[in-house]
Structure 1
């Protein structure tokens, strides 16, 4: 069952239509890392360095989406999806992060957006998904406040180039998770472990987002604009004062340090007090920034949801943060001194990278978000599961992915029935992609990519399941 019908041209989804689609990110899918005037990104340089020693592969070719975007978007449409979330590579537009615009980069994303519209697929455009131009990275990256200014200027270039066709913009992907990996676990560039530097970088990521949103509104661009947050329902296996404190601190550490700023335009007072208690130098927070954050609140919150976070107290001991990028069956280690540590439910199933399979997470998260931010709609911008898929007789029977996605969709719809304003759902990912430090073994795609045979595409069983689900949901070609 691999045949996919050729999609006929269909109209763009009407404004207000629920968006059912899938997602990708530039470095993970495009390839063409040094073609047509593109500058180097921090990930280009890192993946070619000796520091890339866990799964030493690169995104030089990846899924070759740069050359095969038309095929991929046609497959998305043929799968009955009406939306595609993708990111723009900043260094493809501005090779050095600032300065002269690379017109070939503009041309490429014009072609991608136009292909989406030809196939009746709504483009949701993320401006930044981890891949910082190397020139800016070498100047301190997001620890340097000028990167926020550069981002706002880059965003305006994109608004002007593509804003006549893009109705949903997303500024930054996962300020929390990116900085956790870059400055906590230390597995993303700049590969350090220093939470003080994490908070500085996160502050400037959020500042850049707010400045871009303010520009979007001040310049009168049409559409809606938001930010993408990795968010988790925080739970405990016990209920006492210490566990409740751990849950509250984990919520501040993982969720509210981003979401409150994006939605309310301010950092939680308790979060700032906790940083001060820890002796964090916050000299980067300048007078007048409060107004900048207040002017840059989102129209919509994008939420990447994969699992819940179980926590317990961690009152003594050093901070220890480590991710599992080998798929050896062990879970990540999260111990934050004086805040919380990750707990584990022995009765739930995990994948080989230690991620718990817990579909109810999306329901609990959405109800939490509704309670905290009742006036802000949500788009599920990523949801999916990574596995080592097996090809047998040219087929990929990924029933585990179907079960995972079906469970999350069911719980999402239950939350919607209870009043949660959810306006879209994107599977991660459209095709198999480079999975950051995990390399190519950890696969998420609805469409299999044969990285050893010219990136040949084969829709998986989950692709066909999703197509039938969307038919039942009334998404028609």
Structure 2
């Protein structure tokens, strides 16, 4: 009643002269049902009625309290007379909303939630207000969230809450056409809340934090245009671990586990194998042909090829499988790209004898890897011209000694190939590094930028700088380890290379191969102890406006472009291959829409890096081929021993067919038609030597008959 009287006072005596507006500011939370049942949905409505509708419905609708309140509170809730209802109804020129941590959530009585789940979705609240109160003009007078009490100036976490709220307001404004106003695109932040009045934006408080130039951030966000010209020398490829033939004998437990149980010590009889024996190869080849890829990347199993770690025991069946697989890929014009070693969770895929005695901590593993590589080059080099020494060695699981030996092993293998195999096989070889982008959480903070640079050097530069740079570890690494070791809390030893070792390692590459999946935000100020790395003094921060996969991997396409530009600026115009780029999906969903979005936008950012930033990008591998070898990452699902293409496969195939993203003015590309495979042709192609010999005999026979006939006729004429 007090509000209504003040509104009428202003309306009757001051509005004609002052031409202003007046309303009441209401605070509200948002609530979502625990389960999508009719009962829970009604409880959510009741929660909003008790918190927001208590005051909003009398003012904006009919002058009376919500029905749910009157039904539940009965005599406890006063009643308005008809005159009072008429007096209160419509006493607002706009809907003033407060949506913040304290009023909307912290001070909210738990009983007001009615056993439902609170949410910070401002967009859904705006939509509800718009629908419930007849499309009022909404003015968000307060919006904020908590920050840590220890935060000083670089309140990056707060920035991303404000970014989320602004984006949700803009989405609701443009999508649902609500009447709303967001008044703090150029505001100051003080402690928890922003204090703003209409007109000028003042900040009240003593310790002001940084001016959050949110509008500038939004405008600077790189959305770009699709390049109008497609690649001319760009390859679209696929990557997955390869399957192999297992000679073990299994028993099917049909009564209990319903699984195959391996019979130890029993193996199938040995006989000479032929490529047609490997049914899995024919299936994989046919699926790859459907994708229209030009290259296919797979990793060899070191631990299975040489079980003892040396040439005393060789799995010839598996080697023959790889030979057949590579040759069949070539037969259908798909170039095999082969990694000699890819670390996995279990014993890093090293032979047991090497894993048992220190793995990469032991220098003997270096020489063992060189001998293994020599065997692979000899056995597969006729079919493979694109080699990766080590695929995605995880720096997070490496000790500094192990990384030291790993670098020497790579360099020795590269020089081995360069000296003994490059000329006859005419191939190329390098190492593939995992390289996720790291972005400073606060773009205006020098401290956050220093943290991001440090993480990039530890995550990528650790292995990249010795090979692609000066032959030694990054100076940032040595300086940081010296600093933390000096305070006696840590004792990390980063080994030194001799001058000969530096010379051996530096330049041991033919291209820069990297795997990229996501982007991480990092800050310098400690906000969350769970996500704080004391070793590197870095705070991991989550941008709640980003799309995330079921495994919580952030979808940040522009991170790939920034990474590619960083590689170029740091290591020059080296040829670059993105060896793996992919996202997991929800296997319960029929359509993998997130992957469609992911592939579309990540490839577009790669195109921007190629065309706009002049990055020497040579190829892009999507990850992964199928769900059987990489669960949740595949372009093919694998259910009940059957492969089914996902919608993302069709989308990826269209991108390959267009060779990128042609603009509307781009003329249609005239690509050569793929030659259909011909089983009869394969019979003649695989017996070229025999056919050549038969042809020679046939020609010799014809020539002989000709000369015999010719000379016979001459003799007959002489005696006539």
- TM-score band by shorter chain is 0.7 to 0.9
Q: Does 1:200 align with 2:410?
A: no
Partner of 2:542: 344
The number of equivalent residue pairs is 388
Conserved 8 A contact 1:233-1:368: no
Q: Does 1:70 align with 2:70?
A: no
TM-score by length of 1: 0.75
Of the three residues 414, 418, 442, the one matched with 1:213 is: 414
Higher mean displacement: 67-76 or 123-132? 67-76
Of the three residues 319, 337, 348, the one matched with 1:106 is: 319
* Correspondence list, 1:445-460, <5 A: 445-450=634-639, 453=640, 455-460=641-646
Higher mean displacement: 423-432 or 101-110? 101-110
* Correspondence list, 1:368-447, <5 A: 368-390=566-588, 396-418=590-612, 419-435=614-630, 440=631, 443-447=632-636
Distance 2:563 2:600 in 1: 17
Q: Does 1:24 align with 2:240?
A: yes
Partner of 1:139: 357
Partner of 1:324: none
Higher mean displacement: 92-101 or 378-387? 92-101
Q: Does 1:468 align with 2:654?
A: yes
Distance 1:404 1:72 in 2: 24
Partner of 2:448: 243
Distance 1:17 1:107 in 2: 32
Deviations 1:403-450 (A, max 9, x none): 110000111101100211111111100111455xxxx4xx01111112
Partner of 2:41: none
Partner of 1:52: none
Distance 1:339 1:146 in 2: 35
Of the three residues 294, 297, 304, the one matched with 2:515 is: 304
Larger Rg: 2
Distance 2:278 2:498 in 1: 40
TM-score by length of 2: 0.51
Distance 1:201 1:235 in 2: 28
What secondary structure is seen at the aligned counterpart in 1 of 2:548? coil
Partner of 2:560: 362
What secondary structure is seen at the aligned counterpart in 1 of 2:634? coil
Of the three residues 369, 382, 390, the one matched with 1:151 is: 369
Of the three residues 455, 458, 462, the one matched with 1:257 is: 462
Distance 1:114 1:464 in 2: 26
Conserved 8 A contact 1:129-1:172: yes
Deviations 1:43-66 (A, max 9, x none): xxxxx9xxxxxxxxxxxxxxxx97
| Residue 241 of structure 1, CA deviation | 3.4
What secondary structure is seen at the aligned counterpart in 1 of 2:388? strand
Deviations 1:248-304 (A, max 9, x none): 21111111112212322332122223234333234585674223312x521111111
* Correspondence list, 1:149-188, <5 A: 149-175=367-393, 178-180=394-396, 182=397
What secondary structure is seen at the aligned counterpart in 2 of 1:219? helix
Distance 2:588 2:297 in 1: 26
Conserved 8 A contact 1:77-1:120: no
Deviations 1:356-414 (A, max 9, x none): 111111111111111112231111100111012236xxxx4212111110000111101
* Correspondence list, 1:35-74, <5 A: 35=248, 67-74=279-286
Q: Which runs of 5+ in 1 are unaligned?
A: 1-15, 37-47, 49-64, 184-197, 321-332
Distance 1:214 1:336 in 2: 39
Whichever structure has more helix as a proportion of its residues is 2
Deviations 1:160-186 (A, max 9, x none): 1111221211111112xx241x35xxx
Conserved 8 A contact 1:234-1:250: yes
Distance 1:108 1:204 in 2: 30
| Residue 144 of structure 1, CA deviation | 1.3
Distance 1:429 1:215 in 2: 31
Distance 2:283 2:584 in 1: 23
Distance 2:292 2:600 in 1: 16
Conserved 8 A contact 2:472-2:497: no
Higher mean displacement: 231-240 or 151-160? 231-240
Distance 2:456 2:236 in 1: 28
| Residue 99 of structure 1, CA deviation | 2.5
Distance 1:416 1:470 in 2: 16
Conserved 8 A contact 2:628-2:637: no
Conserved 8 A contact 1:96-1:135: yes
Distance 1:272 1:207 in 2: 19
CA pair 35-415 structure 1, distance change in 2 beyond 3 A: farther
What secondary structure is seen at the aligned counterpart in 2 of 1:212? helix
| Residue 72 of structure 1, CA deviation | 1.2
What secondary structure is seen at the aligned counterpart in 2 of 1:426? strand
Distance 1:241 1:368 in 2: 18
